[in-house]
């Protein structure tokens, strides 16, 4: 449990950074994460899925218009 006497000093971002430095903790929330690149079969699967969704939307629209 956190003791108020010891940890009650954290009031703003500057205090938080001092605390992290004192405790030797890395603040991973400030590190930007790069997006992973899609490769191989996963990339093809998502392309096929997008095409399938577009075709289904077109069929639904045509069904509502009573064309099909």
User: Could you tell me the residue range of the domain that residue 18 belongs to?
Assistant: 4-64
Per-residue confidence band for 21, with pLDDT thresholds at 50, 70 and 90: confident
| Paired tokens of 19 | 């605390």
What is the rounded distance in angstroms from the CA atom of residue 23 to the CA atom of residue 10?
13
pLDDT digits (tens, 9 = 90+) for 30-40: 778 888 888 99
Q: Give the predicted TM-score (pTM) of the model.
A: 0.48
The total of structural domains in the chain comes to: 1
Q: CA–CA separation, 29 vs 44, rounded Å?
A: 32
Output DSSP code: residue 9. T
Judged against a pLDDT cut of 50, whether residue 1 lies above it is answered with no
H/E stretch holding 12 reads none
Q: Token pair of 51, please? A: 């095409």
DSSP 8-state secondary structure symbol assigned to residue 50: H
Average pLDDT for the chain: 82
């Amino acid at each position: 449990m956190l003791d108020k006497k010891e940890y009650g000093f954290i009031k703003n971002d500057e205090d938080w950074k001092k605390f992290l430095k004192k405790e030797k903790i890395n603040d991973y929330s400030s590190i930007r994460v790069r997006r992973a690149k899609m490769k191989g079969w996963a990339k093809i699967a998502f392309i096929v899925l997008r095409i399938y969704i577009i075709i289904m939307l077109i069929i639904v629209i045509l069904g509502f218009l009573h064309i099909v």
